[in-house]
Structure formats: C-alpha cells, structure tokens
Amino acid sequence: MATAEEERWLGEVCDVAAPEAVAVVDSVRRFTGHVWDVRTDTIVFPDGHRVDRDVIDHPGAVGVAALDDTGAVLLIRQYRHPIRGYLFELPAGLRDADGEDPLVTAQRELAEEAGLRADRWDVLVDYFNSPGGSTEAFRCYLARGLTALPQGRQLTGEAEEAHLPQVWVPLDEAVDLVLAGVLHNPTTVTGVLAAQAARDRGWRTLRPGPARMWRLSDTPPTVP
C-alpha cells in the first residue's frame, strides 16, 4: 500500500501519454461494430498486478460551438437512441474519414448539420469522453464570423440526422440551462461552459484552429 508521501504529487499538473506505464501482455478483439470496436487488454502493473480491461476503440469526434454576432450559440435538436430521447447538441461528428484533419471535419459538420461556414476557428476545449473504458478523444471548436451557405444545410443525413431543428440561445442562458440540468449532451455541456469561460477571459485562452489534437493512444495494441 502506498504511503501518504507517495500519494502526494509534486510535479506539473498536465496530462501526459505513458504507454510504458503498464505492460500489455495480451489483447483480444471481442466485437467489431459499425463505428467502434471492443477489445480486452490484459495488462501488468509495475508491482506485478495483472488485470483485464475492456476497451472501446473509438475514432474520436469533434464539435462546434458556433456563436453569432449577438453572442448566441447554435443548438441542434437530435434523437439519440441509446438514451431514447431528444437532446439539444452542438453540431458534431465522428472523425471517421481516414486521415482527415479534425478542423476540416468540424468545418464539414457545421456545413452538413447547420448549413453554415465560419471565418474564424479556434480550439475551445479538448477532453476524453470516457477514459476509463474508451479511447474517444473529443475536440470542441469555437466558430465565429458565421454566414449561411447559399444551398443551406446539406441534406446528407438519414434516420437521426434527417431532421435537425435549430435554435439560437444566448450563451449565458445556455449556461443556465446546463447548470439547471436541462441540457445533458457532453459536447453541449463542456462546449457551452468552456465558451463562457473563454469569453469571460477575453478569449485569451483560445488556441489556434490547426493546433494538434493529442490522443492518449494513437497506436493501440495489435489485435488479432
């Protein structure tokens, strides 16, 4: 058991990749899906402790907090089958186009889901959606200087994406809805709160749109 002194962190507070932290001695694919796969890794810690961990291999995703000239944020209402309900969400999409830059993915999703383009793109916030069991890395962009595309929203979607009603909500009001427990989509929650925090800091926390998107596991173990 670790001592109190050993449990005290004295280094820099910064997430880091550490593929050498544990040894992966076996990895078995359990499921191959339409979007993500599931594998079981057998890992050994430095103290010799050996455990199995199920991992969802996810391609990652991006979202867009689009702010208009009045400071309102765009939300889209979409059905989500796993929770059997409608959620208000920021425009977002999977990084399932091989080799596509995440900024390009975000620009494409804003066009496809909202019929908009933006003159300015900044990185708002990065996070891992469920790091205890998934490799999914998510980046939310801030898009400003919006104009409507001449052709409008590209009706490329079907099923859940066939009908995407839009609403523009003042950013402070959107924050109130998040904190009241009315909005639940993780992209909406993190994007709206991060947008307010960045605005209240004079936007100085924003990073350039092309900033590298860091993933904990760019090279997962080879799975048979």
* Residue 134 CB neighbours (<10 A): 17
Strands 61-66 and 137-148 turn out to be: parallel
- Do 204 and 158 fall within a single domain? yes
CA distance 119 to 69: 12
Residue 217 lies in a domain: no
* Residue 71 CB neighbours (<10 A): 14
Residue 12 lies in a domain: no
- Do 139 and 193 fall within a single domain? yes
Residue whose token pair is 């999914």: 136
Please give the structure tokens belonging to residue 141. 């962009």
* Annotation marks residue 161 as catalytic: yes
Residue 4 lies in a domain: no
- Do 52 and 76 fall within a single domain? no
Residue 222 lies in a domain: no
Please give the structure tokens belonging to residue 163. 């009908």
* Residue 213 CB neighbours (<10 A): 17
Residue 167 lies in a domain: yes
CA distance 2 to 87: 43
> What's residue 218's pLDDT?
43
* pLDDT > 90 in the chain, percent: 72
Give the domain extent around 197. 61-208
Q: Is the pTM of this model over 0.85?
A: yes
- Do 116 and 38 fall within a single domain? no
**Half-sphere CA count of 125, side-chain side, radius 13 A:** 19
Is the model's pLDDT at 124 over the cut of 70? yes
> What's residue 104's pLDDT?
94
Is the model's pLDDT at 106 over the cut of 70? yes
- Per the CB < 8 A criterion, the answer to whether 88 and 163 are in contact is no
Range picked from 17-21, 22-26, 158-162, 218-222 for highest mean pLDDT: 22-26
- Do 48 and 76 fall within a single domain? no
Structural domains in the chain (count): 2
Which residues face 72 on adjacent strands?
Answer: 170
**Half-sphere CA count of 189, side-chain side, radius 13 A:** 12
Among 89, 112, 161, 173, the one annotated catalytic:
161
- Per the CB < 8 A criterion, the answer to whether 157 and 61 are in contact is no
CA distance 96 to 98: 6
- Do 202 and 188 fall within a single domain? yes
